[in-house]
């Protein structure tokens, strides 16, 4: 969250509730990855809450490096692979699965690249105004291309899915990214996560719709006896 430790911890608590509710709607193991996205957002927000404390209170200074790397792991390594893979697990149509498989491959490459950068290059977080700014000394040569691939892996999968209301996720993620890019160019990594609550509500709505469809159209059981 981009305002304070309290805001981050509060968002983490709310997202945890949404995450548990979403997982309870999952009726098969293939839905767990998707349903648990709000819980991952919650962990990310709680992590940045501790980062806020480490940057503003000397008593928590020892947590700064761990919290910085944990937050960036979620933002740059986890999401590019988790989002397309979780949607692939839900997709019943073979044609859409082929496209989603390609997007999973793109996400995996992006995740590996950022994992390498986190291990090999300097990163630092600092409070500027009411936001946390992340300094990342990654290779500039590939920055623009990796950014495009990151967007492809995290934005495109919902729009290629045939599942009902999956477009809600795509629209909320896209709008949040556009707003963050326009209004908070220097704080994209941190501020974009401010919209996690909206994105998580869309995920809960999708999971609820899946459960409703399963209850409305139960499988036929043929009694051969």
Q: What is the pLDDT of residues 77-119, one digit of tens each?
A: 999 999 999 999 988 766 668 889 999 999 999 999 999 999 9
DSSP H or E stretch at residue 76: none
**pLDDT, tens digit (0-9, with 9 covering 90-100), for 9-37:** 988 999 999 999 999 988 888 899 999 99
| CA–CA distance, 59 with 48 (Å, rounded to integer) | 16
What's the first-to-final CA gap in the chain, in angstroms?
60
Share of the chain above pLDDT 90, in %: 48
Q: Which pLDDT score, from 0 to 100, does residue 224 have?
A: 45
Q: How far is C-alpha 87 from the chain's CA centre?
A: 12
**Distance (Å, rounded) from C-alpha 166 to C-alpha 62?**
41
**Structural domain contains residue 43:** yes
On whether the CB atoms of residues 82 and 33 are closer than 8 A, the answer is: yes
| Residue 135 is assigned to a structural domain of this protein | yes
pLDDT score of 212: 60
Residue 209 confidence class, pLDDT cut points 50, 70, 90: confident
pTM here? 0.85
Please check whether residue 168 lies inside any domain of the structure: yes
By the 10 Å C-beta count (0-12 exposed, 13-18 middle, 19+ buried), 95 is classed as: exposed
Residue 124: inside a domain, yes or no?
yes
Helix (H, G, I), strand (E, B) or coil at 124: strand
pLDDT given at position 217: 42
Name residue, tokens 């992590």. 47
Domain containing 198 equals 5-216
Q: Has residue 225 been placed in a domain?
A: no
Domain for residue 224, yes or no? no
Tokens 């291309």 belong to residue: 145
- φ/ψ of 163, rounded to 5, equals -70, 140
| Inside any domain, residue 190 | yes
Residue 222 lies in a domain: no
Extract the tokens encoding 144.
């623009």
Q: Which residue has the higher pLDDT, 3 or 31?
A: 31
What stretch of H or E contains 131? strand 131-136
CB 68 within 8 A of CB 121: no
In the predicted model, is pLDDT for residue 183 greater than 90? no
**What is the total count of domains within the chain?**
1
pLDDT band at 193 (very low <50, low <70, confident <90, very high): low
Residue 9 C-alpha from the chain's centroid: 17
Identify the pLDDT of residue 219: 46
Of 81-90, 153-162, 214-223, the least confident: 214-223
Q: Is 108 exposed, middle or buried (0-12, 13-18, 19+ CB in 10 A)?
A: middle
Q: How far apart are CA 25 and CA 190, in angstroms?
A: 29
Q: What is the mean pLDDT of residues 200-210?
A: 86
């Amino acid at each position: 969250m981009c305002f304070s430790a309290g805001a981050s911890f509060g968002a983490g608590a709310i997202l945890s509730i949404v995450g548990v509710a979403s997982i309870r709607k999952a009726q098969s193991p293939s839905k767990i990855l998707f349903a648990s996205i709000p819980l991952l957002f919650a962990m990310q927000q709680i992590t940045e809450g501790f980062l806020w404390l480490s940057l503003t209170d000397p008593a928590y200074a020892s947590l700064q490096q761990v919290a910085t790397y944990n937050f960036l792991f979620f933002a740059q390594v986890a999401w590019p692979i988790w989002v397309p893979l979780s949607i692939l697990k839900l997709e019943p149509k073979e044609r859409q699965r082929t496209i989603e498989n390609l997007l999973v491959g793109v996400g995996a490459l992006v995740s590996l690249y950022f994992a390498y950068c986190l291990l090999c290059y300097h990163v630092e977080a600092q409070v500027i105004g009411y936001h946390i700014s992340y300094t990342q000394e990654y290779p500039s040569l590939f920055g623009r291309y990796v950014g495009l691939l990151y967007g492809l892996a995290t934005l495109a999968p919902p729009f290629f899915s045939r599942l009902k209301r999956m477009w809600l996720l795509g629209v909320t993620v896209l709008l949040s990214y556009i707003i963050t890019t326009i209004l908070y160019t220097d704080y994209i990594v941190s501020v974009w996560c401010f919209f996690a609550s909206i994105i998580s509500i869309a995920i809960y709505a999708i999971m609820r719709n899946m459960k409703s469809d399963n209850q409305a159209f139960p499988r036929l059981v043929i009694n051969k006896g």
